[in-house]
Copies of this chain bind each other. A is one copy, B any other.
Amino acid sequence: MSPKITGELLRQLRQAMRNCKYFSEPIQAYIVPSGDAHQSEYIAPCDCRREFICGFNGSAGTAIVTEQHAAMWTDGRYFLQASQQMDNNWTLMKMGNVLPDDHKGVFSGVYQWKNMSRALTSAGHSLVAVQDNLIDAVWTDRPERPSTQLRTLGLEYTGISWQDKITALRTKMTERKLTWFVATALDEIAWLFNLRGADIEYNPVFFAYTIVGMNTIRLFVDLKRLSDPALRDHLQLDSPSKPELSIQTFPYESVYTELQAICAALGPKDKVWICDKASCALTQVIPKTHRSPIPYTPLCLAKAVKNATEIQGMKMAHIKDAVALCELFAWLEKEIPNGTVTEISAADKAEELRSQQKEFVGLSFPTISSVGPNGAIIHYRPLPETNRTLTMNEVYLIDSGAQYVDGTTDVTRTMHFGTPSAFEKECFTYVLKGHIAVSAAIFPNGTKGHLLDSFARAALWESGLDYLHGTGHGVGCFLNVHEGPCGISYKTFADEPLEAGMIVSDEPGYYEDGSFGIRIENVVLVVPAKPKYNYRNRGSLTFEPLTLVPIQVRMMNTELLTQKELDWVNEYHRKCREVVGAELERQGRKEALEWLIRETQPII
């Protein structure tokens, strides 16, 4: 890896900072964060501005360029990589106040512009938004913004029409006395209009903004995408049923000018709703007195609670996904003794098997396929230079998932194809106890997910062990595999309470550096529970696993399990066998079915 040569680029950027047309004084420091304008977790190549300017392409890092200095802040897991990718013009800085890594990063909103602004103000500086990105001004060969074909989803997938979603949104706006709502998160816009795109790898979203008023709907999107007759029909672009459900379309970039125009016409009491994580430039278009920033938008909250149709779709997607994984594990069992399977080829095989399933669209995130010590690297992704061969002697961890038109999956299994050591089994069993403790937990309505996080750790803690990531994240329905506003983590108090219909992952782990990694992850649905009593009529909730892939008994020290835990495993395996078995049978996948039946034999 040789570092990027950045001297000339920095010279050009500094010139742009001195000559910015929006300010009379030169810009003293230019901040280049990792993200895009839509608070996306994954970003498109045209938005990789921090990588462009400094060369570092890790997922977390913020670059700051001043007249004299250029510095890039990142956290420990990226120090080596950043030092190799950046040239001498750059100083590598250690991220301050960084919490233990969340390998999923769902809640990593720590470096938002608001916090930066607050910090800068208290240090005597001020944060100003620059409408035209200065990096783009010096990035001559910047890739085009993606504009993939849009896919319409009918009621059989979404359960609710976009028109009804708009009406529900306006009801919320009326309740809160808000006149406008600005949607900037790509998954919220995709969900609202029952559309999907492929603009960002792994995330079936498309670049757009939306501004909803009480009588108008403005959609900002590359207009070339709207020529397809089926799409025009879906959005009723040519013959809206009612005037207030008529969508006005605008070019993607015109959101700033259009929002300015809206704000210029606001009455004194009018308020504009916008997510507090929206970009600085767009937020500052709204005068402060009219701005009503919220941590989670009504779309985010509505999207998180899946309706019956979406739940049914998620269940189907998970059955198909389980079929692919049973095939994979049966195949691995056969192939590993030949010494021909590597982390990369196993990941490829998993993708191939998933792609054979109906309505497969793509992966939902890069597959983590890791052998032995690589499994202890939480953010591992196999590369040719790290690629290990699967053997009968090492633990294999695979964390993978897919997008199907009816749902999104995310599953981790940890397997041993030979004889695991007593310590590996012991650790696996503690992780399993944690997984079960969350999955089987009964808790009152209104409980926030972070209150369940310690359940996942209790068994590990009791033996002096732990893992340094959260326990679960929200999962979208044919949308982003990581979504808010709920989750299970020790790190946040800002999550919204769990509700029946929400879908989260349950994924405790244990990582023995230089040796092995263990994680057991199911996607689980929040469902009502009916315990013996009902204190203050609050009602109770629990989880139902949507993931139906056997958990390897060979990795368990069953003597460490309580009767309740054994019962949970046996009941889970019974359900895997029944539901996934029927589908394997239907698809005529005999070897995988035999594997499933063997792996789901009750523990006695």
Contact = CB atoms under 8 A, between A and B. Distances in A.
Interface in A434-452: 441-444, 451-452
Contact of A458 (B455, B466, B536, B538): B455
Q: A452, A454, A532, A534 — which one has the most chain B CB atoms within 10 A of its CB?
A: A454
B464 A532 contact: yes
So how many copies of this chain end up in the complex?
2
A531 interface: yes
A56 to B, nearest CB: 27
B451 A535 contact: no
Contact of A540 (B443, B464, B532): B464
A344 to B, nearest CB: 30
Contacts of A466: 444, 535-536, 538
A269 B454 CA distance: 43
Contacts of A534: 464
Contacts of A535: 460, 464-466
Interface string A524-558: 00000001111110101000000000000000000
A360 to B, nearest CB: 39
A462 interface: yes
Interface residues of A, number: 27
Contact of A461 (B441, B462, B490, B536): B441
Given A441-B458, A454-B452, A455-B458, A463 B493 contact: no
A310 interface: no
Contacts of A441: 458, 461
A451 B532 CA distance: 26
Contacts of A453: 451
A462 B490 contact: no
A138 B531 CA distance: 57
A126 to B, nearest CB: 16
A89 to B, nearest CB: 32
A533 B442 contact: no
A458 B564 CA distance: 15
Contacts of A454: 443, 451-452, 454-455
B458 A444 contact: no
A536 B463 CA distance: 13
A178 to B, nearest CB: 16
B455 A531 contact: no
Interface string A477-496: 00000000000001001000
A114 to B, nearest CB: 15
A186 B100 CA distance: 36
A555 B458 CA distance: 27
B540 A461 contact: yes
A119 to B, nearest CB: 15
Given A442-B462, A443-B461, A540-B461, A490 B532 contact: no
Nearest to A288: B122
A442 B461 contact: yes
A455 B535 CA distance: 18
A490 B497 CA distance: 13
Nearest to A443: B461
A461 B535 CA distance: 9
A441 B444 CA distance: 22
Contacts of A464: 442, 444, 531-535, 540
A538 B466 CA distance: 10
B452 A533 contact: no
Contacts of A493: 493
A451 B531 contact: no
30 contacts: A441-B458, A441-B461, A442-B461, A442-B462, A442-B464, A443-B454, A443-B461, A444-B461, A444-B466, A451-B453, A451-B454, A451-B490, A452-B454, A454-B454, A454-B455, A461-B531, A461-B540, A462-B531, A463-B531, A463-B532, A464-B531, A464-B533, A464-B535, A464-B540, A465-B533, A465-B535, A466-B535, A466-B536, A466-B538, A493-B493
Given A443-B454, A465-B535, 5 more contacts: A442-B461, A444-B466, A460-B535, A461-B540, A464-B532
Which 9 pairs from chain A and chain B are nearest by CB?
A: A464-B531, A464-B533, A493-B493, A465-B535, A451-B454, A463-B532, A442-B462, A443-B461, A464-B534
